[in-house]
Each structure stands twice: as C-alpha cells, then as structure tokens.
Amino acid sequence: MVSRVVFGRGSFNQLGDILTPKRLNTKAPFIFLIDDVFKGNSLMTSRIPLAYDDQLIFISADEEPKTSQVDELVEKIILSYKDRPSGIIGIGGGTILDLAKAVAIMLTNEGEAKDYQGWDLVKTPAIYHVGIPTISGTGAEVSRTTVLTGPEKKLGINSDYTPFDQVILDPELTTGVPKDQWFYTGMDCYIHCIESLNGTYLNAFSKSYGEKAFQLCREIFIEDTLSETEAQDQLMMASWHGGMSIAYSQVGVAHAMSYGLSYLLGTKHGIGNCIVFDHLEEFYPEGVELFKQMKKKHGIELPQGLCANLHDDEFDIMIDVALGLVPLWENALGKNWQQKMTREKLKSLYQKM
C-alpha cells in the first residue's frame, strides 16, 4: 500500500514541505520526471521545489513506458551523480507515474527492467518515490505495479516495493486534460471496477473499493449532478478506489485483450480498453451497456476496423500476449478459463475491433 497520501485542491503546494525531510544530503538530488505537456507551463513548473542538484526531466507521454526507456533513464541518473538520489518524483498520467516507479526500483536492483517483469521478482526496496497524478483513472498512483512494454512482453513489475511512498492527489492539476483523454482514462477506472466486481478473485476489500469507485463513476459519467470541480475531485477519488479494488483482486478480459492490442499496434491503454470493452457484452453485459450509454452521452466515437487488415501471424502475437496474462483470465473466467477462452474465440473477438 501507499504509506502516505494527501488529497485536496492546491495540495501540490505542499510538495516542498513533504520532500525537505526526505533529502539524504545536498549531493543526493531529487529527480522530477514530468510529462512534457507541462513544458513552458510556469504555473506548474514554478511550483516544483528545485534545490541543490535536483533535476527536472521532461518526458513525452506519447508512447507508453518501455523497459529500455527505464534502463536509459537509470543509466543517465547513475552517470550524472556520485550519490544515489534522495528520491524520484513522477508528475503526470499513468505513463509518467509508471516510469517513476520503475526508475525508483531499478536504481537499487541490478540488471535490466525486463528482468523484473512479472510478480514479486524485485528483491531490494526501491528508493523513495512520490507520485503526483495530473489525469485521473488508471489507479497507477496507488497500484503495486508499473506496466512496461519489454522486448518480449507487456507486463508489469508487480511487487511490494513498487507502490509510491507518498502520493499527492491535487485534482486542480487535471484541469487541462482534453475531453477525449478524460473519457478514455476515466473509463480505465470504470473498467477496473467492472472487471474487479465481476471477477472470481473478488473479496471483501476489493468489493468495497470497487463499489465506491463504481458509484463515483456513475455520478461523473452518467448523472449530471456534479460541478466541474466536483467531478475532478470525484474522479481522482474514483481512480484511487478503482486502483485499490484491483490491487486486492485483478483485472479481466478487457485488460488482457487491450495488452495484446497495445503490444502489437501501440494502442494506448485507456483508448485500447474502450475499444475492447465495447465488444465484451458476453462477459460483462450490464457493464458494457452502461459504458455504451456513457460513450453516447459524451459524444465519444471510438476507432473502428483496427484489426481489419491484420495477418494471421499478427493475430497470433496479440493472442499470445493476451493469453499469457493467466491471473487476469483466471479472475475473469475461473480456474477452467482455458476451456472458455480459446485462441479461435479470442481471434474472432479481435476481428470485430
């Protein structure tokens, strides 16, 4: 679990106070990884409390994080400083938050990031790391994973050392998010709830968090009762609760298939989940029906025909990636999932997208 969290509009201003006691010495910098959408945005950058040798690194979120990107960042940091940094601070969406978590882990663990893709492979605690989301939905701010695309697979570094030591939830930071992106990333949260609440791994904790997040998503995306700022606040809370729900259980069919799309075609997580989920009535009938209502209400058009011109070997790559995510299928379909989800069935689903 994340051990410390502050929530509230304007709480980003507390960053300096939070970091000061965590500085190891004046030669051990804080490294800020920040989404390059904030380049030139002095309202954001002027509030980052840089001191001594601290460094601000702008990173594009156009592509999802790769293991090689993590390795490059770690090497750059190691070569730049004699001392190990005091901490890594990620400021951005799921892409930047995951990079920050992975870099913090790889600064204390030998080898390459790809060696740690899987469950509980990290042996040494990461350095101090802080997450500050600027868009809501993924739950990356709270989860025990950092999802990375490696040379062989798209899979997270899932470990007890992955969660942030500190999170700052300031809904004001989400103000500039474009509408489509707001919907896609918000739907990631909604889909987390549906997959968790309808999974076989469901338990008292995942249920209570999932139900809360689901209720918030309904308020935000269906019922028109919230002001803009209330909706920002609530979506940040929903993201947290959705993330907690899957931390106690697991995601399901939409995520497994979306990982396949992303691995082959580079489709980003939020939109990829939406494209897949739109075709999953068979598995999540009520969830998909509500999703279609939300899509209509917000005038969202999803891309069609993504897989129309793919060859058999390309379908095979997506199917291999998706079927490799055993816990997701087991959660979604139970212990005998392999009888329910065959390669042929998966292919026919992909062909609709």
Q: What is the DSSP string of 142-210?
A: T-S--EEE-SS-EEEEE-TT-S-SEEEE-GGGGTT--HHHHHHHHHHHHHHHHHHHTSTT--HHHHHHH
Site membership for ligand NAD, residue 138 (CB under 6 A): yes
Q: What count of other Cβ atoms lies within 10 Å of the Cβ of residue 267? A: 22
Rg (CA), the chain: 20
Site membership for ligand NAD, residue 143 (CB under 6 A): yes
Distances in Å between the alpha carbon of 24 and those of 27, 84, 112, 236? 8, 9, 26, 31
* Residues forming beta bridges with residue 169, ordered by sequence position: 7
Site membership for ligand NAD, residue 165 (CB under 6 A): no
Burial 125-159 (b: 16+ CB within 10 A, else e): ebbbbbbbbbbbbbbbbbbbbbbbbbeebbbbbbb
Shortest spacing between CB 338 and ligand NAD, in angstroms: 25
Q: Are strands 30-35 and 55-59 parallel, antiparallel or unpaired?
A: parallel
Of these partners, ligand NAD, Zn ion, none, which one is at the site of residue 150 (CB under 5 to 8 Å by kind)?
A: none
Of these partners, ligand NAD, Zn ion, none, which one is at the site of residue 250 (CB under 5 to 8 Å by kind)?
A: none
Of these partners, ligand NAD, Zn ion, none, which one is at the site of residue 98 (CB under 5 to 8 Å by kind)?
A: ligand NAD
Of these partners, ligand NAD, Zn ion, none, which one is at the site of residue 73 (CB under 5 to 8 Å by kind)?
A: none
Shortest spacing between CB 225 and Zn ion, in angstroms: 26
Site membership for ligand NAD, residue 170 (CB under 6 A): no
Of these partners, Zn ion, ligand NAD, none, which one is at the site of residue 171 (CB under 5 to 8 Å by kind)?
A: none
Site membership for ligand NAD, residue 188 (CB under 6 A): yes
Shortest spacing between CB 92 and Zn ion, in angstroms: 16
Sign of the CA dihedral running 333, 338, 339, 343: positive
Shortest spacing between CB 177 and ligand NAD, in angstroms: 5
What does the per-residue mask of binding to ligand NAD show for 246-285, with x meaning CB under 6 A? ----------------------xxx---------------
Residues 22-51 that bind ligand NAD (CB under 6 A): 35, 37
Give the interface with Zn ion as residue ranges (CB under 5 A). 188
With beta carbons less than 8 A apart as the criterion, state whether 109 and 54 touch.
no
Shortest spacing between CB 259 and ligand NAD, in angstroms: 8
Structure tokens at 128: 């101090």
Of these partners, Zn ion, ligand NAD, none, which one is at the site of residue 212 (CB under 5 to 8 Å by kind)?
A: none
Collect all residues with Cβ–Cβ distance below 8 Å to 75 and sequence separation of at least 6.
none
Name the residue type at position 79: L
Q: Residues 134, 139, 145, CA angle at the centre, nearest 5°?
A: 115
Among 146, 232, 245, 250, binds ligand NAD (CB under 6 A): 146
With beta carbons less than 8 A apart as the criterion, state whether 209 and 242 touch.
yes
Shortest spacing between CB 167 and Zn ion, in angstroms: 17
Of these partners, ligand NAD, Zn ion, none, which one is at the site of residue 149 (CB under 5 to 8 Å by kind)?
A: none
With contacts defined by CB under 6 A, name the span among 16-24, 61-69, 287-295, 342-350 that binds ligand NAD.
Answer: 61-69
Give the whole-angstrom CA distance, residue 255 versus residue 269: 8
Distances in Å between the alpha carbon of 95 and those of 4, 146, 203, 215, 230? 21, 9, 29, 26, 25
With contacts defined by CB under 6 A, name the span among 77-85, 95-103, 122-130, 221-229 that binds ligand NAD.
Answer: 95-103
Shortest spacing between CB 270 and ligand NAD, in angstroms: 4
* Site for ligand NAD, rule CB under 6 A: 35, 37, 61, 64-65, 92-96, 98, 134-135, 137-140, 143, 145-147, 173-174, 176-177, 181, 185, 188, 268-270
